[in-house]
Structure formats: C-alpha cells, structure tokens
C-alpha cells in the first residue's frame, strides 16, 4: 500500500508538472567592521546613536554588532535607571538589553578590561553589563556621568575589581533621549537586591537596532 501511494504521488507530480522546491539562497555575510562602527537604537522615546570602538575593543564590539546584525535587540528594553545619591544630577546610568532571554542571547563574550582598551567610563560611554568577568551577553549600560570607578584597577584586591567593566564606545547623538529614559518613573517594588528601586516602571522599548556605517 505504501509503495502504491508513493508511486501515485510521483505520477501526480509528473502529470501536474510540479517541480521540486528550491532551497532559499543563504543570506549574504554581514559587512566587515572598520575601526569604528555606528549603531542607531530607535526607542519609544527617540533615537540614540552609538559609535563603537572596534579598534580598541574588538571582541566586545563584534559581540554587540552580532546582536544588531541578527536583529536580536529588536524588541529589547531599557529596564533600569540607576540614580546615584551623590554628585550633581544626572549622576548614574541606564541599562538595557535582553535580560538573559534564553532564545535570543548568544554565548558570553570574553572580557576586555579598560586597562587593556584604554576606554574610560566617562559620561556618554556605553559599557557591557555582567555578573562575573566573561559573562556579558547582550545587556549594556549608558553612563550619564563620569563613573571612572567602573574602570579596571590592576591594583584592586579582588579579581572583580581588577577586571571591572568593559567599555566599548560612546554616544554621538541622542543624550537627550538617554536623559528621558533616566528620568522615567521608577517602580517601588520591582527588582531584587541592589536592583530594587532602580527598575523603570514601564520599560522603554528598543524598536530597532541597526548599523549606520
């Protein structure tokens, strides 16, 4: 019976002129990355333009661009606004990304400390969020003030302090949008541990993340 059914299907295909389905061509490879690359984050509150330093932070930049080129950041959110209780406001950072989404995150990127890259955590810097060094994936921070204490300190007494965070670029346009996100209402109940009191009540959506150059 099975053989007859197969033969009948083959005969029907011949009679109707049905052709075998062609495989879709593979997508073209992404363009190469130069010494710097610009990315536009289009959010609910406006556009933020980034310039990433591929020359000095190649691994971190390539990791971020992989998320951009594969459109994995489309639909991600800015979910945290950290307001530091000292200095002149705005003093702190905003944080966004995929929050560990299991279907979207890629493997962690190797850590590139600022002692290696020479990129300091000053106002407008973009830096990778992480747990331990070498665990960063898709989440990142944008600084609203100088926070050089986030730079690597080879003289620190702990491996975490020696490594600190991986800065890899800066804002070239849209700091007013960053400020709007920073000023967004904060939830009194969301977040655990140090994150409690820093979570944006209604997260700001990243509609698209695209290369500009």
CA pair distance 15, 72, nearest whole angstrom? 45
Q: Which residues 6+ apart lie within 8 Å of 71 measured at CB? A: 208, 209
**Residue 20's pLDDT is what?**
59
- Quick check: 99 and 79 in contact, CB under 8 A? yes
Global pTM value? 0.86
What integer pLDDT is reported at residue 6 of this predicted model? 43
pLDDT tens, position by position, 100-130: 999 999 999 999 999 999 999 999 999 999 9
Please say whether the beta carbons of 145 and 100 come within 8 A: no
Upper half-sphere CA count for residue 134 (Cβ side, 13 Å) = 4
Q: How do residues 139-148 score in pLDDT, each as one tens digit?
A: 999 999 999 9
The predicted structure's pLDDT at residue 139: 98
Give whole-number Cα distances, 66 to 28, 74, 120, 136, in Å: 14, 12, 23, 14
Which domains are delineated in the chain? 33-211 (2.40.100.10)
Report the distance separating Cα 31 and Cα 50, nearest Å: 18
């Amino acid at each position: 019976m099975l053989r007859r059914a197969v033969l009948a299907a083959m005969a029907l295909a011949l009679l109707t002129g049905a052709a075998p389905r062609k495989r879709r061509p593979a997508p073209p490879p992404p363009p190469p990355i130069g010494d710097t690359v610009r990315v536009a984050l289009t959010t609910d509150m406006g556009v933020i333009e980034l310039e990433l330093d591929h020359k000095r932070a190649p691994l971190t930049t390539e990791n971020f661009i992989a998320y951009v080129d594969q459109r994995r950041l489309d639909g991600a959110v800015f979910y945290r606004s950290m307001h530091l209780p000292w200095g002149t406001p705005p003093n702190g950072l905003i944080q966004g990304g995929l929050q560990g989404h299991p279907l979207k995150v890629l493997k962690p990127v190797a850590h590139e400390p600022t002692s290696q890259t020479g990129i300091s955590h000053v106002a407008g810097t973009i830096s990778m969020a992480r747990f331990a060094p070498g665990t960063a994936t898709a989440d990142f921070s944008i600084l609203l003030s100088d926070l050089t204490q986030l730079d690597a300190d080879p003289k620190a007494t702990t491996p975490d302090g020696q490594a600190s965070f991986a800065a890899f670029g800066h804002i070239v346009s849209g700091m007013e949008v960053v400020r709007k996100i920073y000023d967004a209402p904060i939830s009194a109940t969301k977040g655990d541990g140090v994150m409690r009191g820093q979570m944006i009540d209604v997260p700001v959506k990243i509609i698209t993340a695209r290369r500009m150059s």
